[in-house]
Amino acid sequence: MEKDKILERWSEYIKELFDDERKEIEVMKGNFAGPPILKDEVRTAIWKMKNGKATGPDNIAAKQIKALDEVGINKITELLDEIYETGEIPKEMLKSIFIALPKKDGATECELHRTISLMSQVTKILEKSHDESKK
């Protein structure tokens, strides 16, 4: 199979895999904001990040995030609070890199691969700090 056809098949497979056929939800109006994200929640989310993992599209490693000083923690907290208040996530944070790992040696079919997603470290902090705020 030529390279272009292989890439096209993978593209189709990923689209099928992540296709979302749910109806669009009507946007609710009103103030539904909860409490702001706390610096301690951001610190905890950063502390829990695992070193040595592959970077996402931002090319920032967990080790680099963990080296941030108080100013860096404040900036991330401000960004996450703004996202939380507005509901708008910057496009850069929504990008992911998909990697297909074969489930067994010699796998050639798309279905015989496990697909993982590499995402921005700040997106991971957003998810984890949101989880922390629910506790």
pTM of the complete model beyond 0.85: no
Tell the residue number behind the tokens 């909860």, with chain if given: 34
111-120 burial: b if 16+ Cβ within 10 Å, else e: eebeeeeebb
Q: Is residue 103 part of a domain?
A: yes
Q: Is residue 19 part of a domain?
A: no
| Whether the predicted pLDDT of 119 surpasses 70 | yes
Q: Is residue 60 part of a domain?
A: yes
Please tell me the total count of domains within the chain.
Answer: 1
Domain housing 76: 35-134
Q: Is residue 49 part of a domain?
A: yes
State percent of the chain over pLDDT 90.
48
Over the stretch 38-80, which tens digit does the pLDDT of each residue have? 999 999 999 999 999 999 999 999 999 999 999 999 999 999 9
CB of 52 within 8 A of CB of 91?
no
Over the stretch 22-43, which tens digit does the pLDDT of each residue have? 777 676 666 666 678 899 999 9
Among residues 71, 65, 13, 25, the alpha carbon closest in space to that of 44 is found at 65
Over the stretch 86-115, which tens digit does the pLDDT of each residue have? 888 899 999 998 888 999 998 888 899 998
Cβ contacts of residue 59 below 8 Å, gap of 6+?
A: none
What are the distances in angstroms from CA 23 to CA 26, 29, 60, 135?
9, 18, 35, 30
